[in-house]
A = this chain, B = another copy of it.
Amino acid sequence: MGDATPLTENLLLVYHEELPSETIEYITNKFPEAYIKIIQTLSAGIDHIVSNPIFKDTKIPVTTSSGIHGPHIAEWTVLNWLVASKKYIKIYEAQQKHQWTGVRPFLNGIHDQVGKKIGILGYGSIGRQIARVASALGMSVHAYTASPRPTPASRRDNGFIVPGTGDPDGTIPASWHHGHDKKALHSFLSIGLDHLVISLPLTPETTHILGAEEFSILSASAPGKNRGYKPYVTNISRGKVIDQDALIAALKSGELSGAALDVADPEPLPPDSPLWDAPNVQISPHISGLGVEYVARVFDIVQINLNRLKRGEPLINEYKRGKAY
């Protein structure tokens, strides 16, 4: 972590753990004459540096790693959907036992994703890459954002995008929805969704934004409810956006067919939490964005911003001090 002395002519890395030596070497090779007047975070958020004097007391631009998580988190999301829908654990266990089961255990209850409706709460870079893959699988995508996106310009993704991924122009969604209040959210949850993906930032307004009432509304309008599949919830945001007890209840009652959770409330999730054994829940320990490509992509952003600085252009992924996330 940086200390109280603002840096001016150096590259400052902010990370919550000691960096591996290969990473340091990578950076040193990539930027032999570091002179950047930028603070680049290795995370999409900046909550870990907001109380630091270099953030509070200087005007050094802070740029985030927003946009680099899309591919990894979209893969994590699709992985979890398919593990659930294809009964993967049954396949895995049969292999462990050297059992060629044949088709019988798999004749019932396996649905594919074609024609399924997916609602994405928070259509940022992560939601957009999930949308891209969902669309390729044959699903229809429905986006929900805080502010209205009526024009092509308003639908664009202006941050960093991993080349060849995402939905830069916002052309994938079959419908766009927006709002800040329960009414707007409930209206969105009523459009008949098979999948709900939560990729919102955690703020006071989004804390427990999904609870018993929301799961009930979602379930009641699910198109597949009479065909053997209820809505499936994916949370790649923060644990506290969901009322976790309400989620467990909705899984137990069958209102939801399952949930993929990369986040929990609290983290680490204690061993005795009832969430671990809730029906059809798949939990991972906040790792959906991890991958070897992570650091290299952060420095793709640094490289872009170095070039922009030289040309006097506005930076990408710059955090605007004094504005809510």
Interface of A toward B, CB cutoff 8 Å: 71-72, 74-76, 78-79, 82-83, 85-86, 88-89, 91-92, 94-95, 98-103, 106-115, 132-133, 135-138, 162-165, 227-228, 264, 267-273, 276, 282-287, 290-293
Contacts and interface: CB of A to CB of B under 8 A. Distances in A.
A200 to B, nearest CB: 22
Contact of A136 (B79, B135, B264, B285): B135
Nearest to A140: B164
B78 A78 contact: yes
A112 to B, nearest CB: 5
A291 B111 contact: yes
Contacts of A103: 285-287, 290
9 contacts: A75-B82, A75-B137, A76-B82, A79-B79, A95-B283, A98-B269, A103-B287, A111-B293, A133-B136
A157 B35 CA distance: 54
Given A71-B113, A74-B137, A79-B83, 14 more contacts: A72-B110, A75-B112, A79-B79, A95-B282, A98-B269, A100-B285, A102-B286, A103-B287, A108-B292, A110-B292, A112-B293, A115-B164, A132-B136, A138-B164
A228 B92 CA distance: 25
Contacts of A89: 92
Contacts of A164: 114-115, 138
Label chain A's interface by main secondary structure.
loop
Given A83-B79, A138-B165, A164-B115, A101 B285 contact: yes
B79 A88 contact: yes
A72, A85, A135, most chain B CB atoms within 10 A = A72
Nearest to A101: B285
Given A136-B135, A138-B71, A138-B162, A293 B100 contact: no
Contacts of A284: 91, 94-95
A170 to B, nearest CB: 16
A162 B91 CA distance: 26
